Amino acid sequence: MSTKPRIVVLGAGYAGMMTTKKLIKNLTPEEAEIVLVNKHNYHYQTTWLHEVAAGTINQNQVRIMIKDIISPNRVRLIYDTVVKIDQDDNRVILENSELIYDYLVIALGYETNTFGIKGMDEHAFFIESFESSQLIREHIEYQFAKFHQDPNADESSLTILVGGGGFTGIEFIGELVERVPKLCKKYDIDRGKAKIINVEAAPSILPTFDKELVSYARKSLQERGAQILEGTKINECTKEGFIVGEDNELIKAGTVVWTGGVKASPVLTNSGFELTKGRFTVNGDLRAPGRDNIFVIGDCAWVMNKLEGRPYPPTAQAAMQHASTCANNIRSLIHHEPLEEFVFSDKGTVASLGVTDAMGSILGGKKLYGKPAAAMKKVVDDRYLFLLGGINLLVKKGKVRPF
Ligand code: FAD
Ligand code: NAD
CATH number of the domain at 335, please: 3.50.50.100
Q: Does one domain contain both 176 and 268?
A: no
Phi, psi of 193 (to 5 degrees): -80, -20
| Mean pLDDT, rounded, for 305-330 | 94
Is residue 85 one of the residues assigned to a domain? yes
- Outline where DSSP puts E strands in 157-261: 160-163, 196-199, 226-229, 234-237, 241-244, 249-252, 255-258
Is residue 105 one of the residues assigned to a domain? yes
Domain edge (last residue) among 320, 345, 370: 345
Would you please indicate which residues are annotated as catalytic (active-site) residues? Answer: 171
| Closest by Cα among 40, 50, 92, 13 to 270 | 92
Tell me the ligand closest to 381's alpha carbon.
1
| 81-129 pLDDT tens trace | 999 999 999 999 999 999 999 999 999 999 999 999 999 999 999 999 9
Phi, psi of 80 (to 5 degrees): -160, 165
Does the C-beta of 225 come closer than 6 Å to ligand 2? no
- Rounded CA-CA distance 266/264 in Å is 6
| Mean pLDDT, rounded, for 306-330 | 94
- Rounded CA-CA distance 159/165 in Å is 17
What percent helix, strand, coil does the chain show, rounded to 5?
35, 25, 35
Residue-averaged pLDDT of the chain: 96
| Mean pLDDT, rounded, for 331-359 | 96
User: How do 110-112 and 262-264 pair as beta strands?
Assistant: antiparallel
Domain edge (last residue) among 196, 224, 258: 258
- On the 0-12 / 13-18 / 19+ scale of CB atoms within 10 A, 269 is middle
Which atom of ligand 1 lies at the shortest distance from residue 130's CA? Answer: 11
| 117-168 pLDDT tens trace | 999 999 999 999 999 999 999 999 999 999 999 978 999 999 999 999 999 9
Contact 368, 231 (CB under 8 A): no
For 231-275, where are the alpha helices, taking DSSP H only? Answer: 266-270
pLDDT of residue 233: 98
| Mean pLDDT, rounded, for 211-236 | 98
**Domain hosting residue 341, numbered range:** 6-39+80-112+262-345
Is residue 57 one of the residues assigned to a domain? no
Which atom of ligand 2 lies at the shortest distance from residue 259's CA? Answer: 26
Does the C-beta of 311 come closer than 6 Å to ligand 1? no
- Residue 283 pLDDT more than 80? yes
Angle at 309 between CA 303 and CA 313, to 5 degrees: 40
- Residue 392 pLDDT more than 80? yes
pLDDT of residue 1: 57
pLDDT band at 365 (very low <50, low <70, confident <90, very high): confident
Q: Does one domain contain both 286 and 223?
A: no
Does the C-beta of 109 come closer than 6 Å to ligand 2? no
- Rounded CA-CA distance 105/301 in Å is 11
Q: Does one domain contain both 126 and 167?
A: yes
| 26-69 pLDDT tens trace | 999 999 999 999 999 999 999 999 999 999 999 999 999 999 99
Domain total of the chain: 2
- Residue 403 pLDDT more than 60? no
Whichever domain contains 214, its CATH number is: 3.50.50.60
